[in-house]
Each structure stands twice: as C-alpha cells, then as structure tokens.
Amino acid sequence: MIEVKDLMFKYPKAKEKTLKELNFKIDKGEIFGFLGPSGAGKSTTQKILIGILKDYLGSVKILGKEIINWNTDFYEKIGVSFELPNLYHKLTALENLDFVKSFYSGKKEDSKKLLEMVGLEKNADVKVSKYSKGMKMRLNFVRAFIHNPDIVFFDEPTSGLDPLNAKNIKNIIMEKKHQGKTIFLTTHNMTVADELCDRVAFIVDGEIKLIDSPKKLKIEHGKRNIKVEYIDKNKFQEKDFALKGIGYNDEYIKLLREKEIKTIHTQEATLEDIFVQTTGRKLL
C-alpha cells in the first residue's frame, strides 16, 4: 500500500537534510507505527506521504502510484486525522461531518453512525465551540473515516483523551485494521504503539534506526530472566533467575515452595527501553 525508497527531504533554508534515505514498506491491513522524539522527522514524513510536500528525493508510492503522479483522487483514498483538531467551531458536529463529506464522490459513511462510534451521538447537534478538548479530538479522529478511505493517517490519536475514550479509539483502530484498512500511526506514546502496531519504525534525526514488530523486539531485547518478589523475614525481597532451564533450577523451586510469593514476572524490555537502547535517545 505504501512503499518508500531512499526518501530524502531538505527544507529550502535548512542546512541539513530533515530526512535521510528512509526505506520502508507497509502492507494492506497493517498498522505501522512511526515513533520518534519531536523534531525527528515524523511530521515531515507524514506530510510527504499525504501529498503536501512534493519536493522530495527518492520514491514514495501509495497504492502502487508515485505520489507526485496522483491527482486529487488521491484524497478519496486516504484519510487523515491531525494531532490538533481542525474543525469548524460555529458548526455542529453533524454539520462538520456533512460539510466535508460533500467534497467526496465515492461510498461514504453515515455521519450519525460515525458520531455513535466515538460516543458523540447525543452531542451531534451541539456547536463544536461548546465541545471539550477530548470531544473535539474524538470528532477529529472519526472524521478521517467519512469517505471510507483505504489508508488512514493518525497523529497522536489518543492524546488528551481519558482512559475509557482512549481505549475506545484503540478498539476502533483495531476494528478498521480487521476490515482491511492500512493505518499509519505517528506517535511518541510507546504504550499505544505497543498495543496497536504490527510493526514500528524508530526514527531519530531523520533516520530510521530500526523496523520490527513490538513483540519480537521485546523478546529479543528482553533479559530472558524471571524476577520473583517474595516476603522473607517480614521484608520484601526480590531475586532474578535465568529463564533457561528454569524448571530444573533448585533455588527457584525451593523459593516457590518455602516463601510467600508476591509477584513473578518475565523481564521483557518495554518498547521504551528498546527505543532508548537502539537510538540512545529519550522519546520526549
């Protein structure tokens, strides 16, 4: 669906290239996470992929066609939800959706159903200026689906949302993936990326340092240890054991039998740990 080869980009007055030879490929039905700290080149990459910046070097093919060769039909195929909500404040939620819907020609979603998906159906006829930040975010999110696009770009889709609504947004993204939509997710929230993405790319200083699935990364970069927390002499204690041959580790088995165990965890690395390990950078 998306194929990027040797993508380079330099802003006219900048000294250095913002993007240095990016290469990646995203398949249909995949959720691809683009992770990196601010200023890493995430937004520039997204701007190229959604056809705003055209003076790039290298090749960017979307749905098999080089992006500069697409006409405005391109926007019938992709949906975008920006990080900051961009809505008509004087219009109601329903009017906002219907207004932009009129620009599309293909099969379109029912505006009311979209509002239901994000729990805004009761506020459908309320002016957006009266909406809270979270409500605006949800409307902004769901608008990306209005024309039933094949590829959807999300920039920090859960930022500013309470846990319940954030969970709902994540469920919708998963549901859309199962319907065959391809999703490009830009974020610096590692938990969201871990939960949703089939693969993630770590981008720092305009370079992709690594692309892999979160699960595989966590196993590869984990310590292959088990940490046991237990009570001994009325005190919390902890001990690490190698996962290899754990069933024959007498000390471990003895501990399980004789002490009051509080927790047992395998020591997988978090995506955040792996990011710091591979890039030498913190995310924020």
**Contacts with another protein, residue ranges (CB under 8 A):** 50-53, 72-73, 75-76, 78, 80, 82, 84-91, 95, 99-100, 102-105
Helices (H), the chain: 42-49, 74-77, 93-101, 111-117, 133-143, 163-178, 190-196, 214-221, 250-258, 271-279
What letters, b where the CB count within 10 A reaches 16 and e where it falls short, cover 24-51?
bebeeebbbbbbbbeebbbbbbbebbbb
Cβ distance to another protein smaller for residue 98 or 121: 98
- Rounded to the nearest 5 percent, the helix, strand and coil shares of the chain are 35, 30, 35
Q: How far is the CB of 272 from another protein (least distance, A)?
A: 30
Residue type, 173: I
Cβ distance to another protein smaller for residue 182 or 279: 182
Are the C-beta atoms of residues 140 and 81 closer than 8 Å to each other? yes
Q: How far is the CB of 108 from another protein (least distance, A)?
A: 12
Residues near 92 by beta carbon (within 8 Å), at least 6 away in sequence: 124, 125, 126, 127, 128
> How far is it, in rounded angstroms, from Cα 51 to Cα 72?
10
Q: How far is the CB of 165 from another protein (least distance, A)?
A: 21
Q: How far is the CB of 75 from another protein (least distance, A)?
A: 4
Q: How far is the CB of 102 from another protein (least distance, A)?
A: 4
Cβ distance to another protein smaller for residue 47 or 170: 47
Q: How far is the CB of 98 from another protein (least distance, A)?
A: 9
